[in-house]
């Protein structure tokens, strides 16, 4: 470890000190270290420290990163997402960072990090990783809408896999995890339908016309379709137009989020879509559930996501779909 890395490590420990004066004294030098970081060694050390400790102070430092330092940050995140041992922590960190809409976020659309995120969602077997990853993707899509032209089939493949996984549960996952996975899949459904309706409906028609996918359609996808309006673009738009990057030039992130909410028939989904990037500390996501027996006692376990996720399970049986279910996904302050 270089002297510079050793110094930043000491500062980070001081930042997390319970002594407020010590933490305050360390804040400015730590920021200066990052600003003067030329080779990326300091930034990499801060990322590693966060992955080891989930330090809120390290997160604040990383949230202050500006161009051109974002290149090192994206490279380090991509490296961490590509390793199974650090994947969950890296996805959690990415979720925290993009929710702050940093000025460099659009670079992710051309970064290997996006490919690693999609590869993870299409291949990883850890359900908590999948929950975290899909929430990151849902949050990220309105920030990089132009990525649809190159990656639209990847987005659809992710949806198809997660819908099947939440229905069939091949790994016999706990019910709590299934509920969170279904919530993430439901949010991804709304995002894809709101942004790319012509292409998405074409995919659904083709994918769920296959016999082996009919059960997933009946249990998971059909209830979701019953919770959206007919999208105007299905009448006036085309697949080529909705994938044209120039379509998004006049849209801000919040414009896209609101457009997605307008086609939802679910009032809670609509309200949370409109508020997702506000200063509100919580996001309430209702979801039509597959046939799950939730007669067990209320779940209080926290599940890592792009925020701190608390599952509130009422004492009732969900015996048919769709049903509204509240999953409070508390965003980082």
- 124 falls within a domain: yes
List the one residue out of 55, 53, 49, 128 whose CA is nearest residue 87: 128
Domain, as residue range, for 176: 119-263
Residue 187 placed within a domain: yes
The whole-model pTM stands at 0.80
Out of 70-79, 200-209, 271-280, pick the least confident.
271-280
Integer Cα distance of 178 and 168 in angstroms: 10
**pLDDT band at 323; cut points 50, 70, 90:** very low
**CB proximity list for 115: less than 8 A, separation 6 or greater:** none
Whether the per-residue pLDDT at 127 is higher than 60: the answer is yes
Distant-in-sequence, close-in-space partners of 55: CB < 8 Å, separation ≥ 6: 12, 15, 16, 49
Q: How many residues does the chain have?
A: 333
In the three-class reduction of DSSP (H, G, I as helix; E, B as strand; rest coil), residue 240 is classed as helix
Mean pLDDT of 85-93: 97
How many domains does the chain contain in total?
Answer: 1
The rounded distance, in Å, linking the Cα atoms of 299 and 245 is 43
Task: Examine residue 198 and state whether it is found in any structural domain, yes or no.
Answer: yes
Task: Using DSSP, state whether 215 is helix, strand or coil.
Answer: helix
* Confidence (pLDDT) at 11: 77
Sort strands 282-285 and 308-311 into parallel, antiparallel or unpaired. unpaired
Beta-strand pair 302-304/308-311? antiparallel
- Is-contact 44 317, C-beta < 8 A? no
Banded pLDDT at 269 (limits 50, 70, 90) = low
What tokens does 315 get?
């004492």
The pLDDT assigned to 14 comes to 76
CA distance to 50, 97, 241, per residue, from 275 (Å): 28, 18, 28
Predicted local confidence at residue 201, as pLDDT: 97
pLDDT: which is higher, 203 or 14: 203
Q: Is residue 279 one of the residues assigned to a domain?
A: no
pLDDT of residue 29: 74
- 21 vs 95: which has the higher pLDDT: 95
Closest CA to 169 of 305, 292, 312: 292
User: How confident is residue 91, by pLDDT bands cut at 50, 70 and 90?
Assistant: very high
Structure tokens at 50: 């966060």
Assigned domain for 55 exists: no
The percentage of the chain sitting over the pLDDT mark of 70, rounded to a whole number, equals 76
Across the range 211-239, mean pLDDT stands at 94
pLDDT band, very low/low/confident/very high, at 158 (cuts 50, 70, 90): very high
Round to the nearest angstrom and report the end-to-end CA distance of the chain: 33
Q: What is the mean pLDDT of residues 199-211?
A: 97
| Confidence tier at 262 by pLDDT (50, 70, 90) | very high
- Is 71 part of a structural domain of the chain? no
Looking at the domain assignment, is residue 75 inside a domain? no
Per-residue pLDDT, 3: 54
Structure confidence at residue 299 (pLDDT): 32
Tell whether 254 is covered by a domain: yes
- Can you say how many angstroms the Cα of residue 224 is from the centroid of all Cα atoms in its chain? 19
Q: Is the pLDDT of residue 227 over 70?
A: yes
């Amino acid at each position: 470890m270089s002297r510079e890395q050793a110094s930043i490590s000491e500062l980070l420990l001081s930042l997390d000190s319970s002594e407020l004066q010590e933490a305050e004294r360390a804040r400015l030098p730590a920021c200066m270290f990052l600003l003067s970081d030329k080779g990326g060694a300091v930034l990499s050390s801060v990322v590693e420290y966060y992955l080891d400790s989930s330090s809120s102070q390290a997160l604040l430092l990383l949230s202050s990163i500006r161009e051109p330092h974002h290149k090192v940050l994206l490279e380090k995140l991509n490296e961490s997402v590509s390793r199974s041992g650090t994947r969950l922590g890296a996805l959690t960190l990415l979720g925290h960072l993009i929710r702050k809409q940093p000025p460099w976020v659009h670079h992710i659309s051309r970064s290997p990090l996006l490919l690693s995120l999609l590869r993870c969602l299409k291949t990883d077997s850890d359900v908590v990783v999948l929950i975290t990853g899909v929430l990151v993707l849902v949050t990220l899509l309105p920030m990089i809408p132009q990525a649809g032209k190159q990656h639209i089939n990847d987005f659809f493949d992710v949806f198809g896999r997660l819908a099947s996984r939440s229905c069939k549960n091949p790994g016999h996952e706990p019910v709590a995890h299934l509920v969170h996975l279904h919530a993430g899949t439901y949010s991804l459904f709304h995002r894809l339908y709101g942004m790319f309706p012509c292409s998405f409906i074409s995919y659904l028609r083709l994918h769920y016309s296959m016999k082996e996918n009919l059960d997933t359609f009946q249990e998971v996808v059909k209830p979701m379709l019953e919770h959206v309006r007919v999208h105007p673009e299905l009448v006036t738009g085309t697949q080529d137009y909705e994938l044209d990057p120039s379509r998004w030039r006049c849209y801000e992130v919040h414009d896209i989020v609101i457009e997605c909410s307008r086609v939802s028939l679910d009032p809670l989904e609509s309200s949370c879509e409109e508020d997702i990037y506000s200063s509100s500390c919580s996001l309430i996501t209702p979801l039509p559930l597959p046939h799950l027996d939730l007669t067990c006692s209320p779940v209080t376990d926290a599940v890592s996501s792009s925020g701190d996720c608390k599952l509130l399970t009422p004492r009732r049986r969900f015996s048919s779909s769709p049903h509204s279910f509240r999953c409070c996904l508390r965003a980082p302050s």
